[in-house]
Structure 1
């Protein structure tokens, strides 16, 4: 029995053509920020505004789908709940850490988060709520079932999967996100991301893993 993702796979939700449109919208968000319009997306993606409205409803609907598409880069680990062992659990957690860190430090995520912070608590298209609900909150739902499966298999020990995930997030992201949001420019290489993900996984397991006696 597999641990299913709590969030539908965006590659299954969106058609290949819709994925092209959402990629174009992400590119425009990086270039234009809050000036993004349905017209500019239609022009960049070579489609009609009517098609955009049909697919996504309105600008908020397009922004929601765009955030979902970006968040889809952090894949939900798939593990066998009945054959879960320490090695496969570690592999799943480390892969998630690589996806999470690689996505968060990218230009698109930094742009989305900056815009969302500017809109938080304001009546500006609700972008803050859109990013929160379809970004961080959706992503955490993809790992928590794996953590809970690890607890059921007596490989992990914690009282709350929410608290365990927050610890995991802090170990993976550290201060990278806030430094980028405040304007520091750095682009870690894949090898550096992989190294940091492995370190964070090791630290997480040092806190929460159940260590069996020899």
Structure 2
């Protein structure tokens, strides 16, 4: 699965920065809240000075990690041409597959557990995960939903409500079970099946007959 381009401020991540974020993600799964700039620098074989230059402080690094992880849910290109029912369902299934694959992985589980631990007024990590995770993913899906409505394939008055319904159908209880420690393993076949089923249910609810 290819991640989309992620920008830090006005600059796109370099391949070296992407490698460092992948290493930081793996380390996060291992150590959780004990993640440090020193630990990442040592594992990535780069200087702390480089980390501070690229990402700022630890919060900046965590923000970049969240953005990099969320970018694995690929945006679907929406062109000016009228969309067919088959194209809409195919795009929705791709989106659902990516999302379920990312959210059920060890990295997302570790990241969300860390965010929950640090949610509240004394830390902005919970807000960071919400803004760069769930809300950012929503902004990628909504243009597709609007294109489906514009093509006369979907009917809804509130795109946020439609997105939340899609969210619930795709994720179901998977995320909360993983966060609470259940050893739930989704195979590639499971993810494909669940993504397809979620889209079928969504189209049943919002599709124009």
Correspondences of 1:30-179 after superposition (within 5 Å): 30-124=29-123, 126-179=124-177
Shift of 1:122: 4.1
TM-score (norm 2): 0.94
Partner residue, 1:9: 5
Number of positions where the alignment pairs a residue of Structure 1 with one of Structure 2:
203
CA contact (8 A) 1:79 1:88 kept: no
In the TM superposition, structure 1's runs of 4+ consecutive aligned residues that sit over 4 Å from their partners are: none
Any unmatched runs of 5+ in structure 1?
Answer: 1-7
User: In 2, Cα distance between the equivalents of 1:153 and 1:81?
Assistant: 10
Correspondences of 1:185-200 after superposition (within 5 Å): 185-200=183-198
User: In 1, Cα distance between the equivalents of 2:121 and 2:150?
Assistant: 42
User: In 2, Cα distance between the equivalents of 1:45 and 1:169?
Assistant: 34
Any unmatched runs of 5+ in structure 2?
Answer: none
User: RMSD value over aligned CA atoms?
Assistant: 1.3
TM-score (norm 1): 0.91
Deviations 1:89-134 (CA, angstroms, capped at 9, x unpaired) = 110001000000011100000111111111111414x211111111
CA contact (8 A) 1:22 1:66 kept: yes
